[in-house]
Amino acid sequence: MSGERTDIPCQVCLDLWPLVCDGVASEESRHLVEAHLAHCPSCRTETGEAPSLAPPAPPDDGRVLAALRRRLLAGGLLLAGLGCLVGLAITYSANMFYNLILLPLAGAAGALALGRRWPWAPLGCFGLTYLWLFLRAGWELLVHPGSMGWGEGLSFLLLSPLLMALIYSLLALAGAVIARLLAFVFRREPDGPARPHRPGGAT
């Protein structure tokens, strides 16, 4: 194998490696390094690289990341929606105080999934709560007609859901803000493809 025309000495391979890592090496150099690493275990160990080198910014990585983000978004939104719905189901019940924890958690999940569009998490919570309680109040009024006067009925139908939606969305907002702050502090989200490992100490 070492008799191949495309082969380069180990030292040349290791010299070129940092340039390949930075994406400034020419196509040809990159191929030479790739070909050399494919059959030279000692350089592979030295560079810590698998036989097939990833180009500096492969389009596939972008697609994989986008797919990951989409899955994260869907999962986070599902979690947030479910949390909000469970919170609504126990509204006006003895377990209602669980919402003090549940809704901030739902807001946090939604905010983490939505990234920069995180304000939609508390807004969605507001909309969902209002719609749910409005329909619930409407149903109550339909089932028990004449149980309330006009004014009382209207406030029951419009104002109580509004008040609850405000409280719930504020709880979700608190969770969302905390989640965004934590995400900012820890910077957990991957911003791009990881850099290939370089041989010891080379900068």
Of 2-10, 59-67, 111-119, 125-133, the segment contacting Zn ion by CB under 5 A is 2-10
Residues from 12 through 51 that contact Zn ion (CB under 5 A): 40, 43
What is the C-alpha to C-alpha distance for residues 80 and 107, in angstroms, rounded to an integer?
6
Pairwise CA distance, residues 124 & 16, whole Å: 52
Amino acid at the residue 130: Y
Interface with Zn ion by CB under 5 A: which range of 5-13, 22-30, 87-95, 195-203? 5-13
In the complex, what is the shortest distance from the CB of residue 203 to Zn ion, in angstroms, rounded to a whole number?
21
- Listed in sequence order, the DSSP H helices in 23-119 are 27-39, 41-47, 59-89, 99-114
- DSSP letter for each residue of 92-135: TSTTGGGHHHHHHHHHHHHHHHHGGGTTHHHHHHHHHHHHHHHH
In the complex, what is the shortest distance from the CB of residue 52 to Zn ion, in angstroms, rounded to a whole number? 16
Amino acid at 82: L
Cβ nearer to Zn ion, comparing 10 with 159 = 10
Number of residues that bind Zn ion (CB under 5 A): 3
179 binds Zn ion (CB under 5 A): no
CB under 5 A: which stretch of 8-16, 73-81, 132-140, 143-151 binds Zn ion? Answer: 8-16
How near is the Cβ of 41 to Zn ion at its closest, in Å?
8
Binding site for Zn ion (CB under 5 A): 10, 40, 43
